[in-house]
């Protein structure tokens, strides 16, 4: 207790200094006058929180562990079901579970039938896409990428530019956006993948920042700070979702003889996002069971051992970078089509932090964990909208807390179980 008290005092003094400098004062510019408004209460509250947390550290760890255990029992039911199926020698796929989830998600937009509620889920789906992609690099390959959102930007701008200048349709641009982002991943990867750990994190962070600056300043191509506007929405088999179609086209509501209702468009985006998520989950769940996915994990575990077994660690890293960027590119292309307007603002560093927070919270390498964490974080982001820059604090805090107390995430990944005896007799192998 005495030890804790000392620590608490030290931490509080440190926080006092830091908080005074950061949130203790607010600079206000009115005309030519600049005044600093002192905000002592912010500092006092901050210091009190730090003091209490430090003082009751041990108890808090206990509470947090308890919370983790409750969560564990909640997911155990699903894990046991998975385990039982694996023992039968089939894949980890539990059709009933996934079917139920899929049905719920499919009826959801019709039940709420509200732009905002549908939009919220579309945002969640985008975060799921991004987090699943980032998880390949961070969770599986163990390479910290702090500039991941840059690849999302590459995807978005690929569609924006191709559509604006060359009239590419969404469906043609979608794979191209993925591939351009993957290419950007490889181009960035070549020089930096020799770096390890912290250095790699810093270089990728720099890359993210540089890209935003480039987008701001390459006015003639990217539209500068204003970005690119009136990007075409996707069509479904050539049918458009706007009130009036372009020349020669037929809008959806006329095609089916319905009243025009803008929510149809939201339904469409909802299912498009859902389809992208399902596609991504399927592809990634296959990849991680394939030789390529195994080599990502092996690389994370021990690069030297990989090399000694003839695995080219550079190409393994590049493949992780490229494939993870590919999914960011897909997400970016979808984002551009949904917003119809993209600008550098959407690709700030905070977005990289949010996606990273999802991956870390969800349990690196665990798909179900990432989906739940994405929902949590997207909702948290919505509700913390008013806090503006201080949101960064919240997400940083989440990262730090997770790293200290549950470094393997709330839902640690389970290792695949492969049954050996009589394996040849059963049709499926769990690989």
Residues near another protein (CB under 8 A):
283, 286-287, 290-292, 294-295, 297-298, 301-302, 304-313, 415-418, 420, 423-424, 429, 431
**Residue 257 vs 310, nearer CB to another protein:** 310
**Residue 254 vs 297, nearer CB to another protein:** 297
Find the helix packing angle between 349-362 and 367-383, rounded to 10°: 140
Range 142-177 burial, b when 16+ CB lie within 10 A, else e: bbbbbbbbbbbbbbbbbbbbbbbeeebebeebbebb
Q: d(Cα 217, Cα 240) in Å, to the nearest integer?
A: 33
**Residue 24 vs 293, nearer CB to another protein:** 293
Given a contact cutoff of 8 angstroms between Cβ atoms, the answer to whether 106 and 255 are in contact is no
Provide the pairing of β-strand 25-30 with 33-38.
antiparallel
**Residue 387 vs 431, nearer CB to another protein:** 431
Give min distance, CB of 429 to another protein, in A.
6
Give min distance, CB of 334 to another protein, in A.
20
Backbone angles phi, psi at 238, to 5 degrees: 85, -5
**Residue 26 vs 305, nearer CB to another protein:** 305
Among 121, 114, 111, 108, smallest CA distance to 379 is for 121
Tokens 């993209």 belong to: 342
Q: Which DSSP string do the residues of 276-329 spell out, in sequence order? A: HHHHHHHHHHHHTTSHHHHHHHHHHH-HHHHHHTT--HHHHHHHHHHHHHHHHH
**Residue 4 vs 414, nearer CB to another protein:** 414
Residue 147's H or E segment, with its range, is none
User: Hey, what long-range contacts does 253-260 have (CB within 8 A, 24 or more apart)?
Assistant: none
Give min distance, CB of 316 to another protein, in A.
9
Give min distance, CB of 197 to another protein, in A.
18
Give min distance, CB of 426 to another protein, in A.
11
Region for 429 from its dihedrals, namely left if φ exceeds 0, alpha if ψ lies in -120 to 50, beta otherwise: beta
Residue 28: DSSP 8-state:
E
Give min distance, CB of 306 to another protein, in A.
8
Q: d(Cα 50, Cα 44) in Å, to the nearest integer?
A: 10
Backbone angles phi, psi at 343, to 5 degrees: -145, 160
Give min distance, CB of 276 to another protein, in A.
16
**Residue 81 vs 379, nearer CB to another protein:** 81
Give min distance, CB of 2 to another protein, in A.
37
Give min distance, CB of 84 to another protein, in A.
15
Residue 386: DSSP 8-state:
G
Q: d(Cα 323, Cα 329) in Å, to the nearest integer?
A: 10
**Residue 39 vs 419, nearer CB to another protein:** 419
**Residue 145 vs 295, nearer CB to another protein:** 295
**Residue 165 vs 282, nearer CB to another protein:** 282
Give min distance, CB of 355 to another protein, in A.
24
């Amino acid at each position: 207790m005495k030890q804790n008290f000392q620590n608490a005092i030290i931490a509080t003094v440190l926080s006092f200094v830091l908080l005074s400098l950061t949130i203790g004062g607010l600079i206000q510019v009115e005309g030519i006058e600049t005044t600093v408004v002192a905000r002592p209460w912010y500092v006092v509250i901050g210091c009190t929180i730090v003091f209490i947390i430090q003082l009751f550290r041990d108890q808090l760890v206990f509470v947090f562990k308890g919370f983790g255990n409750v969560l564990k029992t909640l997911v155990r039911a699903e894990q046991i079901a998975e385990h039982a199926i694996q023992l039968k020698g089939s894949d980890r796929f539990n059709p009933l579970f996934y079917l139920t989830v899929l049905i719920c998600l499919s009826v959801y937009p019709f039940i709420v039938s509200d732009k905002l509620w549908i939009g919220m889920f579309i945002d969640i789906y985008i975060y799921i896409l991004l987090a699943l992609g980032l998880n390949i690099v961070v969770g599986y390959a163990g390479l910290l990428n702090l500039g991941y959102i840059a690849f999302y930007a590459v995807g978005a701008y690929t569609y924006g530019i191709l559509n604006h200048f060359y009239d590419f349709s969404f469906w043609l641009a979608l794979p191209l956006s993925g591939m351009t982002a993957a290419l950007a991943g490889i181009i960035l990867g070549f020089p930096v993948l020799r770096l390890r750990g912290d250095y790699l994190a810093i270089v990728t962070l720099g890359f993210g920042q540089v890209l935003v600056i480039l987008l701001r300043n390459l006015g003639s191509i990217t539209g500068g700070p204003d970005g690119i506007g009136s990007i075409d929405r996707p069509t479904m088999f050539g049918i458009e979702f706007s009130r009036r179609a372009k020349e020669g086209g037929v809008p959806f509501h006329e095609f089916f003889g319905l009243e025009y209702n803008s929510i149809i468009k939201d339904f469409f985006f909802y299912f498009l996002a859902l389809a992208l998520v399902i596609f991504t989950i399927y592809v990634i769940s296959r990849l991680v069971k394939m030789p390529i996915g195994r080599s990502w994990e092996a690389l994370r575990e021990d690069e030297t051992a990989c090399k000694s077994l003839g695995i080219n660690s550079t190409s393994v890293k590049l493949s992780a970078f490229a494939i993870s960027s590919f999914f960011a590119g897909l997400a970016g292309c979808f984002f551009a089509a949904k917003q119809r307007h993209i600008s550098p603002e959407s690709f700030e560093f905070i977005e990289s932090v949010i996606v990273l927070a999802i991956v870390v919270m969800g349990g690196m390498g665990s798909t179900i964990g990432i989906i739940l964490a994405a929902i949590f974080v997207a909702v948290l982001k919505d509700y913390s909208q008013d806090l503006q820059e201080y949101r960064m604090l919240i997400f940083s805090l989440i990262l730090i807390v997770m790293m200290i107390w549950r470094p393997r995430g709330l839902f640690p990944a389970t290792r695949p179980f492969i049954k050996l005896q009589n394996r040849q007799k059963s049709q499926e192998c769990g690989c």
